[in-house]
Amino acid sequence: MSFRNVVLVRPGELTIKGKTTRKRFEQLLMQNMADALKTAGIVAELKRGYGRFYVYDSYEAVKVLRKVFGIKSLSLAVEFEFKNLDDLLEKSEEFFREKVKGKSFAVRTKRTGSHNFTSLDVNRHLGERLLKYASKVDLENPEVSVFVEIRENKAYLFTEIVKAYGGLPIGSEGKVVALVSGGFDSLVASWLLLKRGVEVDFLYLNLGGAVSRCYTIRAVKSLADNWCYGYRPKLYIVDFSGMIRELKTKVKPELLGVVLKRYMYRAANSIARRIGAEGIATGENLGQVSSQTLTNLNVIDKSSEFVVLRPVLTFDKDEIVEMAREIGTYEFSSMVKEICGVYSFHPKTHSSLEEVLKEEEKIDVNVFLESLANVECIDIRHSSLTDVGCTEEVQSLEIEEIPEDAVILDIRPSEKFQTENIPGSINVDIWNLEELVKKIGKDKKYVVVCDEGGLSREAAYILRQIGVKAYSLKGGMRRIKRHNGR
């Protein structure tokens, strides 16, 4: 038989676009598919037809192409030319007879072009030919679906349809800057924008240090490597530790979260202007934390000159986490811990623009401008973790149990420490950490504690850089409370 292996690719929403737009979208999809295949090291012939794309001689292409946005579904098929209905039926019988042997089946035919037979003719006659091999015909719940797709004088035979993710080809809807922490929400939000054809560049405002930077890079890279086909996404990193220190020193604690978000938006606006983006995006979710009430979001929004996109605004947290599992970012996002939450206590859920502007008058704007003067730019898909300084040392700082001889350093705000703490622990500001350790003694063993284990990883890393044996308590105080059933 003159069968040729082919992956039959079905585009999704782009097929309902106007002629000019559809042509442009199809060209983008071809480009993105080619990039995906090249990235995976797959050498295959790629062709475009009307309403279909064809990838020849590589069934391996399905796994990677189902992650190319703009594709609705794919099938592992065989292609052949036929002369007439009898020729079509004979070759189809040869292909399917072993597949339906002893099983129930149904024939499903689609046809485009001019022929002297109908799709129903193919269903009926091929069904008759295959019935002698099968147990029965079952149109409602067959064990094997026999698919025949006819396009002019060529036919495509297959038994499965592999669902892809649909959407629009990346590059069809402009560019945005997505504020990312590496956590579940911001990466799922970025994925949803990619699905709608947006080129997403990422901005990480680092409130911690080398450890937070490393975990965030790993998480963003897990998204970029598997979904950002057709362009070269950039991850911009800005050291925002000076900014958080400025805010912590001068802004009322209950308003710190809102003011911080406004400066984050301003930073995203700066990057957006620099790269020609048309909007900024966040993983904000309505009502999830204090800064994400409708009132506070309204105040925060007024700091941005660009449209603010929030794709996961109405999702439940468990829905977002489930999506993270589906798209492959869950494992890496679960290792990213919150940093900004450790700097605020009893945050205000309903702030006014007037009181926030009054707090912002206290801030030295030069601190903000200095943070933006040194922006790190990473070609996230084409850089390895080693290239960007994510060493094994940065990734092995956590400990699950506190040794009996360890000195416990609690770097949470004093208000939280006074409310609850580990007996015998010492409350210290992270910026005074090195000075305290030098007084106690660099020869001792230290375990650093914070809310979730994010900032304590940074602290442990800082101490290791000066030769101290230091660890971060995995999961922080929240893990202890969960363990104690509180």
User: Do 215 and 181 form a contact (C-beta atoms < 8 A)?
Assistant: no
Counted residue by residue, the chain has a size of 486
Is residue 340 part of the annotated active site? The answer reads: no
Alpha-helical (H) ranges within 350-391 are: 353-360, 365-372
Q: Please give the Cα distance from 88 to 148 (Å, whole number).
A: 10
Residues in Cβ contact with 444 at an 8 Å cutoff, skipping those fewer than 6 apart: 405, 406, 407, 468, 469
3-state secondary structure 65-94: HCCCCCEEEEEEEEEEECCCHHHHHHHHHH
The residue type at 186: S
Exactly one of 214, 228, 390, 450 is catalytic; name it: 450
Q: Please give the Cα distance from 127 to 146 (Å, whole number).
A: 9
148: nearest Cα among 129, 135, 166, 167: 129
* Eight-state DSSP code of residue 374: S
Q: Please give the Cα distance from 129 to 369 (Å, whole number).
A: 76
203: nearest Cα among 259, 248, 270: 270
Q: Any idea what the Cα angle at residue 133 is, between residues 129 and 136, rounded to 5°?
A: 85
User: Do 1 and 91 form a contact (C-beta atoms < 8 A)?
Assistant: yes
Q: Tell me which residues are annotated as active site.
A: 450
